[in-house]
């Protein structure tokens, strides 16, 4: 056998091996993706009476959008969760932290326009605007009110979802029992500038390079930040303990792998999750997120509960606290979480749910 033929044979073996691995991975991912949800079970193994565990695909804003609705009793109050991003559904991640919301609420984990289950029919990112997504939120709210016979529901927003939530509640207070904000966005452009300065200072003190940041200018009043900046910022803050979590996280193992393994999502939904998390950074809504709430929303006519991690630099803790103090509401509470960054409901779930039970629901 000539040398050329030997090399060709080795290359064929390598390519065949790679193809076999890719096929195996696809088959594994397909097996993980039936798009089904497990029901709650009673002590005898039967479906728990009165419980809800459904994947709903319904028309919202003229397109099919996905909802995961879960709760141990349909007699519990209804809660609509607005995820962050934009474009990052949080049901799978939150499920792994066993927060316990479904013990006390019927919870709707909605995949917003441009994300997860709702991505395929969402159209181009330029149509993903704050106004459109606020209208979507009201439609989902009314779907839940009609479905569960509720006059009002609870609204909980995390990160981007908290910005969306404040805007929706300010215009539609009659639909909501209370507003619950986690990692409350207030003046995100100012938050980005503070995070930028913090990262440069901290990296320099550690003797690490800041060269990757030098191409970005956050000095202006209307800084136009590309998707690449937000990805760099998120990675850097996570490394420093001031991002999504305070404790270091293995991004693939702790965040991406659980989503890939989630049986509630089909392959198309998982594709939508990955694409939506990227494409949403190009959408108008990501720029609209930079609007200063303290200059546009002064009053919420419902009780307000804000949860914020002390280490959060992704959405600045001090700015959130300052906005809370300015906000006028019939009742308001601010809770600091001293061992958390941007996700206190997942980082300190026991304390989080205890506060929700006691202060939001009035349960002993």
Active-site residues, by number, are 159, 312, 342
Inter-CA distances, 221 with 188, 189, 193, Å? 12, 8, 10
Contacts of 149 (CB under 8 A, 6+ apart): none
DSSP secondary structure string, 238-294?
HHHT-SS-SS---IIIIIIHHHHH-TTSBHHHHHHHHHHHHHGGGSHHHHHTTS-GG
Q: Given its phi and psi angles, is residue 265 left (phi above 0), alpha (psi -120 to 50 degrees) or beta?
A: beta
Which phi and psi (to 5°) does residue 322 adopt? -65, -40
φ and ψ at residue 230, rounded to 5 degrees: -65, -35
CA distances from 333 to 300, 305, 306, 308, 352 (A): 13, 5, 6, 11, 13
């Amino acid at each position: 056998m000539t040398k050329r033929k030997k090399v060709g044979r080795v290359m064929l073996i390598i390519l065949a091996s790679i193809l076999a691995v890719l096929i195996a991975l696809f088959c594994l991912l397909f097996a993980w993706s039936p798009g089904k949800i497990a029901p709650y079970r009673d002590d005898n193994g039967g479906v728990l009476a009165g419980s809800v565990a459904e994947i709903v695909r319904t028309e919202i804003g003229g397109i099919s959008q996905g909802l995961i609705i879960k709760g141990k009793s349909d007699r519990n109050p209804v809660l609509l969760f607005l995820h962050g991003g934009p474009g990052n559904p949080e049901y799978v991640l939150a499920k792994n932290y066993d927060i316990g919301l479904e013990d006390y609420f019927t919870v709707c984990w909605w995949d917003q326009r441009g994300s997860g289950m709702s991505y395929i029919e969402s159209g181009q990112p330029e149509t993903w605007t704050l106004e459109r997504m606020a209208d979507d939120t009201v439609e989902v709210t009314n779907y839940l009110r009609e479905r569960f016979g509720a006059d009002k529901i609870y609204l909980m927003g995390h990160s981007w979802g908290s910005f969306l939530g404040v805007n929706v509640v300010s215009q539609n207070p009659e639909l909501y029992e209370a507003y619950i904000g986690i990692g409350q966005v207030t003046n995100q452009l100012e938050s980005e500038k503070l995070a930028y300065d913090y990262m440069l200072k901290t990296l320099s003190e550690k003797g690490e390079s800041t060269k990757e940041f030098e191409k970005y200018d956050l000095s202006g009043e209307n800084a136009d930040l590309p998707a690449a900046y937000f990805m760099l910022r998120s990675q850097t803050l996570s490394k420093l303990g001031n991002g999504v979590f305070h404790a270091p996280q293995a991004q693939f193992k702790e965040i991406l792998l659980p989503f890939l393994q989630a049986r509630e999502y089909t392959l198309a939904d998982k594709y939508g999750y990955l694409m939506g998390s990227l494409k949403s950074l190009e959408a108008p809504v990501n720029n609209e997120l930079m609007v200063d709430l303290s200059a546009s929303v002064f009053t919420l006519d419902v009780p307000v509960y804000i949860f914020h991690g002390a280490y959060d630099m992704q959405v600045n803790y001090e700015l959130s606290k300052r906005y809370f103090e300015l906000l006028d509401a019939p009742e308001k509470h601010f809770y600091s979480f001293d061992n958390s960054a941007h996700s206190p409901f997942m980082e300190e779930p026991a304390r989080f749910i205890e506060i929700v039970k006691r202060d939001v629901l009035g349960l002993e």
